[in-house]
Chains A and B, each alone.
Chain A
Amino acid sequence: MSIKVLYFASLKDRIGRSGDELTIEAPLTVVEVWQRLNPNMDIPDTLLAAVNMEYVGLDAKVSDGDDVAFFPPVTGG
């Protein structure tokens, strides 16, 4: 099972990658996905997350084939 992870904006710069692929054995929560991929980086206070392009809380479940995105507060308009 695998999931795709994307990072945007200042978070992408801090992490130094625009995305990751993660192989998982069982469904994880969003926060667990973060911890697996960025074990040495605290979760930013203002972190936003989306699963399949919908905003979710950090305790949301992530399953096989899902697209997960992490990003800072949005600043459009």
Chain B
Amino acid sequence: MTIKLSAEIFDPWQELVDFQAQAVDMAGKYGATGVFVGTMRDFNQGDEVRGMYLEHYPGMTEKQLQRVVEQAQGQWQLLDVLLIHRIGQILPNDTLVLVAVWSAHRGDAFDASRFIMENLKSQAPFWKRETLESGQIRWVEKNSDGYSK
């Protein structure tokens, strides 16, 4: 398991290439990689968004992310997990979060990546403060439910 908070912009696809290149132990063992990439939009709740600040609780955020990944590892057969989440100042089109799970079979990879994503959104202490095109600054009050439209 690798969990990182990044104050810098990162390329999720390059991270995957780099991670797999060093994960020699699981080479040949995985048949499925479940990947979710979350990207910042330039709109939210009907408004144009210029940028966003992502606050977190140092220590607790890492602890809760680790717990979510451990729960997934307890529920599905996973070979490894990579989770990277941005913090700090973020612009539209920046990657916000990368969740990748490697497994022998696709069922575990699909389900575990979804589980990690949905649970981090409800449990990991991050808070979004948006700056709108109008200049208004507002906190996002709650995340949408990932299981309904």
Q: Across the interface, which residues of A come within 8 angstroms of B64, CB to CB?
A: 53
| Residue A73 is within 8 A (CB to CB) of chain B in the complex | yes
| Residue B6 is within 8 A (CB to CB) of chain A in the complex | no
Docked-complex contact A77 and B121, CB < 8 angstroms: yes
Complex Cα spacing A55 to B68, Å:
13
Which of under 10, 10 to 19, 20 to 34, or 35 or more describes the interface residues of A? 10 to 19
User: Which one of B15-23, B27-35, B139-147 is at the interface?
Assistant: B139-147
| A-B CB pair tally, cutoff 8 Å | 76
Complex Cα spacing A1 to B36, Å:
46
Query: Considering only CB atoms and an 8 Å cut-off, how many residues of chain B contact the other chain?
Result: 29
Q: Which residue of B lies closest to A76 (CB)?
A: B126
Q: Across the interface, which residues of B come within 8 angstroms of A74, CB to CB?
A: 121-127, 143
Q: Across the interface, which residues of B come within 8 angstroms of A46, CB to CB?
A: 142
Closest 4 CB pairs of A and B: A76-B126, A9-B127, A53-B60, A77-B121
The dominant DSSP class at the B interface is mixed
Write the residues of chain A forming the contact surface with B, with a CB cutoff of 8 angstroms.
6, 8-10, 13, 46, 50, 53-55, 69, 71-77
Q: Across the interface, which residues of B come within 8 angstroms of A10, CB to CB?
A: 127, 139, 141
Docked-complex contact A75 and B60, CB < 8 angstroms: no
Docked-complex contact A76 and B121, CB < 8 angstroms: yes
Complex Cα spacing A8 to B140, Å:
13
Q: Across the interface, which residues of B come within 8 angstroms of A13, CB to CB?
A: 139
Q: Which residue of A lies closest to B99 (CB)?
A: A77
Docked-complex contact A77 and B57, CB < 8 angstroms: no
| Per-position 1/0 for B111-149, Cβ under 8 A of A | 000000100111111111100000000011111000000
Docked-complex contact B55 and A77, CB < 8 angstroms: no
| Residue B91 is within 8 A (CB to CB) of chain A in the complex | no
Q: Across the interface, which residues of B come within 8 angstroms of A75, CB to CB?
A: 121, 126-128, 139-143
